[in-house]
Structure 1
Amino acid sequence: MSIYDHIELHQGDITRLEVDAIVNAANSSLLGGGGVDGAIHRGAGPQLLAECRTLGGCPTGEAKATGGYDLPARWVVHTVGPIWKGGHKNEAALLASCYRNSLTRAAELGATTIAFPAISTGVYRYPKEDAANIALTEIVAFLERPSSIAKVYLVCFDAESLEVYRKELASRTDTT
């Protein structure tokens, strides 16, 4: 079995997945926003916002966990991705840190399944191809070490993002 058998691509709404943990591409306040962040807050209900208020925000690249409340997921791992500023402001290292820290938080909770959105590729404008490369690099490196995580879902809201992730995954698994 290949390490890539533990990674699955999915197009759709991350808030509907029945997994142990979903990752929220949050802003640094953790108090809700647009895109996936707003959808997760709406889906989880007001208890999520109440718990997030106790966390004191989150720096870019770090991750904090809360309950999932009204979501099918037991936990939400909040991470703050970098805003793309041309690639010369440590964006790649910060995005890689988002994936590493989110996986670490989920494993600390005992999660076996986790779902990620395409962190920073929406309003934060991170180039999708570069983001997919970083995401898969960090996920594979994490899965190669012992942890509770058995399955990682990469959830893309639109077909264009899904195709980017499909191509990146295929480039790593093509044995011809």
Structure 2
Amino acid sequence: MTTITLVQGDITRQSVDAIVNAANSSLLGGGGVDGAIHRRGGPEILADCRRLRASRYGKGLPTGRAVATTAGELDARWVIHTVGPVYSTTEDRSEPLASCYRESLRVADELGALSVAFPAVSAGIYGWPMDDAARIAVETVRATQTNVQEVRFVLFDERAYEAFARQVG
């Protein structure tokens, strides 16, 4: 059974098998969690991402999908990059958001990762309301069959932590 834990802090400081990156589809770094992971992890992550772009993901990683690279200088073995949807008030994009969590856990299982740290995917610059992002994240992790023993949600601030704590119960 998967244990869900919550941490308020910096995802790049977590010691886990895999850190999930809320990436943009280019896989070439960006702002928020993506930029922090690339900065702290060093150039090896970007080099791996460039290899992925040159091979399987020439047009970028599609929303809701996940792919792994080295973790570079991070205290993890892998970074699992997933592309969350941009929030929309006119279109329900909750399925692609749930897919980010399912696909990341699928990749973690393929790698043999037993501990995975997730950010609140799409709840930053992509504008997803935090309470709904937390609900989708926790429900999806609970409903997904995985060999991962610990899913750690690493929340940047108190507001995000509290939203996830309400969902975990």
TM range (shorter): over 0.9
Deviations 1:130-176 (A, max 9, x none): 1111101110112xx3x431000001000110011111111xxxxxx
What's the CA shift for 1:128?
0.9
Cα distance in 2 for residues equivalent to 1:85 and 1:12: 27
Residue 148 (structure 1) aligns with:
147
Asked if 1:117 corresponds to 2:114, the answer is no
Residue 56 (structure 2) aligns with:
none
Query: Can you give the 5+ residue segments of structure 2 that lack an aligned partner in the other structure?
Result: 54-59
Pick aligned residue for 1:62 from 51, 62, 65: 65
Residue 173 (structure 1) aligns with:
none
> When the two structures are superposed, what TM-score results if normalisation uses the length of structure 2?
0.93
Q: Among the aligned pairs, what percent are the same residue?
A: 54
Aligned length: 163
Residue 163 (structure 2) aligns with:
164
Q: Which stretches of structure 1, 4 residues or longer, exceed 4 Å deviation after superposition?
A: none
Asked if 1:20 corresponds to 2:23, the answer is no
Residue 174 (structure 1) aligns with:
none
Residue 47 (structure 2) aligns with:
50
Residue 80 (structure 1) aligns with:
83
Letter in 1 for 2:109: A
Letter in 1 for 2:48: E
Tell me the C-alpha RMSD between the 2 structures: 1.1
SS at match of 1:105: helix
Cα distance in 2 for residues equivalent to 1:54 and 1:138: 30
Query: Can you give the 5+ residue segments of structure 1 that lack an aligned partner in the other structure?
Result: 171-176
Cα distance in 2 for residues equivalent to 1:153 and 1:100: 15
Residue 75 to residue 160, structure 1, CA distance change in 2 (3 Å): same
Cα distance in 2 for residues equivalent to 1:103 and 1:156: 18
Cα distance in 1 for residues equivalent to 2:117 and 2:50: 23
Cα distance in 2 for residues equivalent to 1:87 and 1:162: 27
